[in-house]
Structure 1
Amino acid sequence: MRIDRLLSILLILSSKGIVTAKELAEHFEVSVRTIYRDIDKICEAGVPVAANGGKGGGFYIIENYSLDNLFFDEGELHTLMAMMKGMSIVFGKNQQFNDIVLKFQNADKNNNNKEDSLNINMSHFSMEEELKEYLYIINQAIEKTKILVFYYINRNMEYSERIVEPIRIEFSHGQWYLAGYCRVREDYRRFKLVRIKDLKLGEIFTKRIISSEELDEIFNKSYDKKNIKVKLKFSNRIGNQLTEYFFKDTIKERQDGAFIVDDLFPYEEGLIRFILEFGKECEVLEPEYLRNETKKYLENILEKYNG
């Protein structure tokens, strides 16, 4: 018997009041008989669940009984609810996420009418409908241990079919990633969701034994290999804005008022575009090949307008 289903039933009863066995069976895609057994287990655990027969009847938790939250005070719960509200645009199709929200909504019901002091909006992170659908499919694949099949677009705009055993979803530097074992490359890889096309569920697979720490180490080594040391010069016009983009200890002010940023950056196609976002206020000093690549990039743009 699944503990998570018992907990979810308890949370639904606590939040919604009276719920029929049929409604619960449809929600969890099990038989009515299974729901009755689940209710018996909940009662054995000491939760007073009662039942009313006839029209409008169903299971309910007796009046004046509440689920005491052992870990959060009211302020912490209200903050968590604000965070979950912001994340609902991403994981709103995920049943486990919705069950968690139900739990905290019930625990936070005394604050439901309280003015929100924290507002988290994830919608600006390229959350198109396709991306939300992909997040849902990936979650399904991870939960059901199914492979994912899709076409992936590399930095040269080349398509290749990938067959991936999914491990986790990651959000880093404003981008969503799928992390898993790629059967095509025979290695652990990380894929940007915005570059994935025609994502589909495949057959069930046997999970590989790897810890989160081992996976992090693999990705960190790969990330370090792609990093390059870059030195950028910024005019004093935007000096006070640099901490919005770089760590303070990487920024040095020169005597002439200019600012130098000396740090590691991922060497990928987005680096030059990032640098050019600063316009004439930024200059690449080192390495020389990045300076030349930036110059060539600008020359190609100028050629289009002069042509």
Structure 2
Amino acid sequence: MNNHFLFPFDSHQIRDSLNLPLSDNIMELTGHISYEMSEEKVIDPNLFHDLMESINESHQIRIKYRNLKGLTQTRMIEPSHLRNSDGQWYLFAWCHFREELRVFHVSRIIRWSCTDMSFEKEMKSDELAISLNSSFGIMLNKKNCQTVFLRFTGKAISLVKGKIWHEEQSVEVTEEKVDISFPVESYEEILRVVLSYHVEAEVLGPPEFRKIWQYKIQEMAGKFI
């Protein structure tokens, strides 16, 4: 395995999903299968090790974190879960500063130090499962969610038709378009998705998100045209 972005394995998830009889020459067949992530960010393997150790030992870890505005913050956290979404690693952790479960981009952790302080917040598995199952990428806290409205046209129709964006999504399909709406906590990740479909994707709302999308298009045009 040369791609460490597929590590660590979720062996139970893999086992449960393989509900099919396996051929005797399964190892031979694996040579005919390959994976490519749409986007990958290099993560220090030492950071992965220490995060997993923190989860395993239930010891708090101190991180220096760079937010979207480029500002650095020091947080004491209690890691619970690592998730890879489209090549991006996210850390679900109890944040002592915010006093709530938060999601951190692992690639934005610029420094960290392990501690011997035990977890103070007992994160129940069902509580974490609800957050994981109801999230789109970095969405987490429903009370902070906004519903986004997207429209796809042209070739994008066949690409997004039948796609599950969120368990609470609403979809309207016609021959000319696919309209999809679902809740998000942050516009950041879904903005990247919309821009990846170029002129065949449009943000219909909310107005704040549409302005952000339009500004990003204008910014790119001003830089490259």
Common fold, TM-score beyond 0.5? yes
Report if the CA contact (8 A) 1:90-1:127 is conserved: no
Tell me the equivalent position of 2:15. Answer: none
Unaligned runs of 5+ in 1: 1-83, 98-110
Question: Would you say the 8 A contact 2:59–2:78 is kept in 1?
Answer: yes
From 36, 53, 60, the equivalent of 1:147 is 60
1:119–1:226 Cα change, 3 Å: farther
Aligned length: 204
Match of 2:105 among 164, 173, 192: 192
Q: Distance in 2 between matches of 1:125 and 1:305?
A: 22
Partner of residue 116, structure 1:
29
CA displacement at 1:87 relative to structure 2: 7.5
Corresponding residue of 1:293: 212
**Higher RCO (CA-CA < 8 Å; seq separation 6+):** 2
Task: State yes or no: 1:227 paired with 2:145.
Answer: yes
- The structure 1 segments of at least 4 consecutive aligned residues displaced by more than 6 Å after TM superposition are 84-88, 122-125
Which structure 2 residues correspond to residues 201-212 of structure 1 after superposition, within 5 A?
Answer: 201-212=114-125
Instruction: Provide the C-alpha distance between the structure 1 equivalents of 2:100 and 2:82, rounded to a whole number of angstroms.
Output: 17
The answer to whether the Cα contact below 8 Å between 1:91 and 1:136 also exists between their aligned partners in 2 is no
Corresponding residue for residue 242 of structure 1: 160
Q: TM-score, normalised by structure 1?
A: 0.54
Letter of the structure 1 residue corresponding to residue 59 of structure 2: K
Three-state SS of the structure 1 residue aligned to 2:158 is helix
**Which residue of structure 1 aligns with residue 172 of structure 2?**
252
Task: Find the counterpart in structure 2 of residue 43 from structure 1.
Answer: none
Cα distance in 2 for partners of 1:126, 1:235 equals 28
Query: Does the CA contact (< 8 Å) of 1:90 and 1:135 recur in 2?
Result: no
Q: Which has the larger radius of gyration?
A: 1
Query: Which digits, 9 at most, give the CA deviation of each residue in 1:104-126, with x for residues without a partner?
Result: xxxxxxx6994235857487762
Alpha-carbon RMSD across the aligned residues, in angstroms, is 3.7
Residue 128 (structure 1) aligns with: 42
Name the % identity.
19
| d(CA) in 2 for partners of 1:172, 1:303 | 30
TM-score of the superposed pair, with normalisation by structure 2: 0.70
Equivalent residue number for residue 73 of structure 2? 160
Which amino acid in the other structure matches residue 289 of structure 1? E
Identify if the C-alpha distance between structure 1 residues 225 and 252 changes in structure 2 by more than 3 Å, giving closer, same or farther.
same
Report the structure, 1 or 2, having the larger strand content: 2
- Cα distance in 2, alignment partners of residues 88 and 259 from structure 1: 32
How far the C-alpha of 1:276 sits from its partner, in A, is 1.4
Q: Please report how far the alpha carbon of residue 201 of structure 1 lies from its aligned counterpart in structure 2 after TM superposition.
A: 1.2
Distance 1:195 1:174, change over 3 A: same
Query: Which SS does the other structure have where 1:115 is aligned?
Result: helix
CA distance in 2, matches of 1:143, 1:128: 23
Deviation, structure 1 residue 193:
0.9
In the alignment, structure 2 segments of 5+ residues that lack a partner are 12-23
On the 8 A contact 1:145/1:206 being kept in 2, the answer is yes
More helix by share: 1
